[in-house]
Structure 1
Amino acid sequence: FSIVIFWFKDLSFAIILSGTLLIVILNASIFGAMVPFGFKKIDVDPANATGPLIATFNDVVGLLIYFGLMTLALRYTLIGG
């Protein structure tokens, strides 16, 4: 947060970036903790199947969250909506 404010001098960007990071980290933690239980329930070895699935899912969801929040922020700050 403070690094973004120091480099870019933009409070709204710092808030959006910090919020995005918080949401992505929480999402990754919850999804990463729940998927092995789901795999164990369907008799799939969680150690082999979890890594690639969680990494791919977290990357895609992280980008969607980031671009979604930035789109909303730009829409309401640049257009004045």
Structure 2
Amino acid sequence: MQTDPETGKTVGWEPVGQSAFAKFFEEARERLPGAAPGTYELCGPEVNGDPEQLGEHRLVPMPPRRSSATSRVTSTA
């Protein structure tokens, strides 16, 4: 966890076991049996004001990050 010097907001990864959101994580995990390995974002009514308006806690898969080498476009013209 780090604090953004410009905004003062805390950013980063937090182990779910020590999080105040642990019970919401468990609730969301129960809705996702047999989930594929990967990175998920916890979303729902008690998380960041529920901007997704899900109405229930869910684990939303995050797309894989692309490296700058794979996202670069070069021209041969």
Bucket of the pairwise TM-score, normalised by the shorter protein: under 0.3
User: Per chain length, whose mean CA-contact separation is higher, i.e. which structure has more relative contact order (CA < 8 Å, sep 6+)?
Assistant: 1
- More strand per residue: 1 or 2? 2
In the superposition, the TM-score normalised over structure 2's length comes to 0.24
In the superposition, the TM-score normalised over structure 1's length comes to 0.24
